[in-house]
Homo-oligomer: A and B are copies of this chain.
């Protein structure tokens, strides 16, 4: 797979979806696949985002209770430096003024380059082919570069070119969807608009972040300030023998990442004056070549699988993790759904990919949590607890910003989710330094909060009044997922304590961590209550879940999904109906190995799960592979891969489902490869199925690159000595090892 194609999709909804599909990012900066010349109508979603760049706005509650977050945080669209206008005989070229004879889009995944070619016919019957090539640079994190070629087929005369820096389009808002904030405050105060520097400096109105947006070109424009915009003007001749060629560089620097963001901007612009688009492409190729070297997954049997899985990995990789000053939002840098907030999605659905291919990025993502511990401490206090920290359910800057606590702050499992990612990172990398310097502190502080929250009845510890992953069931007692993750978190915390005492001595003193506290934590991990139904031979989602009425999903018409848009929460909460995998997610993460209980649980929960959340199908896919229900597994896996590409959730226009991108990776490595990370070995149980007859992929484990190749046999090779458990057999590998497939 090298390229992805989508042609002649010109409906408004298709355009908005393709803006997302053709979004490009470098982890810092992201831009949607809009048209540089615009659509001539204001239904555009905004274009450019900077990871972690946000503004505040006031939350309003009709009943404003103690402890509710009072400020929202919102991803803000950057000042738009991309827009241009190309006018023929006074009329701009765009899909509103012209007939479109064809539209072709290509995503070149070897370069992180999008190429859009559109064939316009004006009302005067002049025809032009406009080609826009766009990259978000891997040389300069702050740079978007766009090369435009306009070829005239039958026009000879002047083409007027305008170039802009201006405020972005306002978002198309929707009143009825609780997942999208409906609001338009004035996000920017203007600090400076400079013709000379061709730049606009703004400050976010409430969060006080500065942004310097500058533009430069390989042609000379005459600039004017027009209100809060900077407009460049240029007229050139065009005819069938002479194309218009122009490259535009947009540099966004911010006080978020650099104190000297103004100097930095100037510095980059100066460097760009000697650098062509083609030269920038060389850096792109180099970066993505290294990236694909480790990340590419080759699949035999179904070309779609390989194409979509690698596209998903590509977009996941570009969504963040470049710095510990940011994380990865639910929509990455591809849209404004969920207001650009970071969730547990990162730790549970995304980090495994980074841990296994680029541990440095996994560490960055975990370090983001470490750096926000003071805010998590404040939130613990806010929730009524005197000890430990509570990581936020949704946030940009680390403060809890969930305005609906039943499906927000009540999700106490976030603490153990972060702990799980830390433990898995440590197991995969053996990065003791990280554990000692940062990881252990997070493990203990998150545990301290939960330790204060649990409730001992003389026999078991209970966790009352929390919400698990399934948001169609909220504020319940003893959510199995939460308790099981807590158990894992506490057990591993104690294990690390016991096995790394010498390395940890300093941090133990700093954190006033005693043997008594560790015994208490161990005791809780041993006696945390896990609700189980003997009758059904399944773990219960929580202590009351199995007592509720079932909702017959077969009788609910398709247009009533997602249920949260059509049913009162109270109705959903009264029924056994799941938005997403819950108990089953825990069984996936912890590699639950009682296959009878696993099967009975799967058979119980699967029919009552709507998958209204995009975090769900990948999990059922993995378990179906494990249960050898391959048709169902492949069906789920295929749907996971297609989620954004086929817009199956009908909201890809709001951005990519990044957790699902990670989920598709998990679906493959956990499901098909049967890979699991353990502290002392890497476990794999590779299978082949009708659609997936062979494959090849790499993972990093304990600093070694391990290549797994499946065709009619299994070949494993590694760059150094590693231990693997292959089909249940522990084997030390150094070089290449081959064995028969066990299906």
Cβ distance A463 to chain B, nearest Cβ, rounded Å: 9
The answer to whether A64 touches B465, judged by C-beta atoms less than 8 angstroms apart, is: no
Residue of B nearest to A70 (CB): B175
Cβ distance A475 to chain B, nearest Cβ, rounded Å: 6
Choice from B405, B465, B567, B570 contacting A548 with Cβ under 8 Å = B465
The answer to whether B405 touches A574, judged by C-beta atoms less than 8 angstroms apart, is: no
In the complex, per-residue mask of A383-426: 1 if CB is within 8 Å of any chain B CB, else 0: 11000000000000000000111110110000000000000000
Copies of this chain present: 2
Choice from B66, B177, B409, B410 contacting A565 with Cβ under 8 Å = B66
Q: Which residues of B contact A179 (CB under 8 A)?
A: 63
State whether the Cβ of A60 lies closer than 8 Å to any Cβ in chain B.
yes
Instruction: Tally A residues with Cβ within 8 Å of B.
Output: 52
The answer to whether B570 touches A405, judged by C-beta atoms less than 8 angstroms apart, is: yes
Cβ distance A304 to chain B, nearest Cβ, rounded Å: 35
State whether the Cβ of A228 lies closer than 8 Å to any Cβ in chain B.
no
State whether the Cβ of A67 lies closer than 8 Å to any Cβ in chain B.
yes
Interface residues of A in 441-480 (CB under 8 A from B): 453, 455, 457, 462, 464-465, 474-475, 477
The answer to whether B569 touches A67, judged by C-beta atoms less than 8 angstroms apart, is: yes
Residue of B nearest to A544 (CB): B477
The answer to whether B405 touches A569, judged by C-beta atoms less than 8 angstroms apart, is: yes
Choice from B66, B406, B407, B566 contacting A66 with Cβ under 8 Å = B566
The answer to whether B384 touches A66, judged by C-beta atoms less than 8 angstroms apart, is: no
Cβ distance A300 to chain B, nearest Cβ, rounded Å: 45
Q: Which residues of B contact A477 (CB under 8 A)?
A: 544, 547-548
State whether the Cβ of A568 lies closer than 8 Å to any Cβ in chain B.
yes
Complex CA–CA separation, A464 to B63 (angstroms): 24
Q: Which residues of B contact A59 (CB under 8 A)?
A: 62
Complex CA–CA separation, A416 to B410 (angstroms): 31
Cβ distance A650 to chain B, nearest Cβ, rounded Å: 16
Choice from B178, B462, B548 contacting A547 with Cβ under 8 Å = B462
The answer to whether B63 touches A568, judged by C-beta atoms less than 8 angstroms apart, is: no
State whether the Cβ of A277 lies closer than 8 Å to any Cβ in chain B.
no
Q: Which residues of B contact A571 (CB under 8 A)?
A: 67, 383-384
Cβ distance A657 to chain B, nearest Cβ, rounded Å: 19
Q: Which residues of B contact A457 (CB under 8 A)?
A: 547
Residue of B nearest to A560 (CB): B66
Choice from B62, B565, B574 contacting A61 with Cβ under 8 Å = B62
Q: Which residues of B contact A549 (CB under 8 A)?
A: 455, 464
In the complex, per-residue mask of A155-180: 1 if CB is within 8 Å of any chain B CB, else 0: 00000000000000000000111110
Choice from B62, B66, B404, B475 contacting A63 with Cβ under 8 Å = B404
The answer to whether B181 touches A62, judged by C-beta atoms less than 8 angstroms apart, is: yes
The answer to whether A178 touches B64, judged by C-beta atoms less than 8 angstroms apart, is: yes
State whether the Cβ of A382 lies closer than 8 Å to any Cβ in chain B.
yes
Complex CA–CA separation, A564 to B65 (angstroms): 7
Instruction: Assess A403 versus B544: contact at CB under 8 Å? Given A465-B570, A574-B465.
Output: no
The answer to whether B61 touches A570, judged by C-beta atoms less than 8 angstroms apart, is: no
Cβ distance A326 to chain B, nearest Cβ, rounded Å: 23
Complex CA–CA separation, A102 to B177 (angstroms): 59
The answer to whether A383 touches B568, judged by C-beta atoms less than 8 angstroms apart, is: yes
Residue of B nearest to A409 (CB): B570
In the complex, per-residue mask of A37-72: 1 if CB is within 8 Å of any chain B CB, else 0: 000000000000000000000011111111110001
Cβ distance A375 to chain B, nearest Cβ, rounded Å: 16
Complex CA–CA separation, A182 to B62 (angstroms): 8
Residue of B nearest to A573 (CB): B465
Residue of B nearest to A385 (CB): B571
The answer to whether A61 touches B178, judged by C-beta atoms less than 8 angstroms apart, is: yes
Q: Which residues of B contact A65 (CB under 8 A)?
A: 178, 404, 564, 568-569
Complex CA–CA separation, A465 to B572 (angstroms): 9
Residue of B nearest to A401 (CB): B62
The answer to whether A62 touches B72, judged by C-beta atoms less than 8 angstroms apart, is: yes
Cβ distance A333 to chain B, nearest Cβ, rounded Å: 23
Q: Which residues of B contact A182 (CB under 8 A)?
A: 64
The answer to whether B63 touches A403, judged by C-beta atoms less than 8 angstroms apart, is: yes
Cβ distance A174 to chain B, nearest Cβ, rounded Å: 10
Q: Which residues of B contact A329 (CB under 8 A)?
A: none
Q: Which residues of B contact A407 (CB under 8 A)?
A: 63
Q: Which residue of A65, A72, A178, A455 has the most chain B CB atoms within 10 A of its CB atom? A: A65
Complex CA–CA separation, A410 to B409 (angstroms): 20
State whether the Cβ of A543 lies closer than 8 Å to any Cβ in chain B.
yes
The answer to whether A567 touches B384, judged by C-beta atoms less than 8 angstroms apart, is: yes
The answer to whether A567 touches B176, judged by C-beta atoms less than 8 angstroms apart, is: no
Complex CA–CA separation, A567 to B383 (angstroms): 7
The answer to whether B475 touches A62, judged by C-beta atoms less than 8 angstroms apart, is: no
Choice from B66, B409, B573 contacting A567 with Cβ under 8 Å = B66
The answer to whether A548 touches B464, judged by C-beta atoms less than 8 angstroms apart, is: yes
Instruction: Assess A67 versus B453: contact at CB under 8 Å? Given A59-B62, A62-B72, A574-B464.
Output: no
In the complex, per-residue mask of A546-568: 1 if CB is within 8 Å of any chain B CB, else 0: 01110000000000000011111
Residue of B nearest to A457 (CB): B547
Q: Which residues of B contact A566 (CB under 8 A)?
A: 66
Q: Which residue of A177, A182, A548, A570 has the most chain B CB atoms within 10 A of its CB atom? A: A570
Q: Which residues of B contact A384 (CB under 8 A)?
A: 567-568, 570-571
The 10 closest A-B pairs by CB, nearest first: A67-B568, A384-B571, A62-B403, A63-B178, A465-B574, A63-B404, A455-B549, A465-B573, A464-B574, A464-B548
Q: For the A-B complex with A64-B176, A465-B548 known, give 14 more contacts whose Cβ atoms are closer than 8 Å.
A: A61-B62, A65-B178, A65-B564, A65-B569, A383-B570, A405-B570, A409-B568, A453-B574, A457-B547, A462-B547, A464-B544, A464-B548, A475-B573, A477-B548
6 A-B residue pairs with Cβ-Cβ distance under 8 Å, sorted by A, are: A63-B407, A65-B178, A383-B571, A384-B571, A405-B569, A477-B544
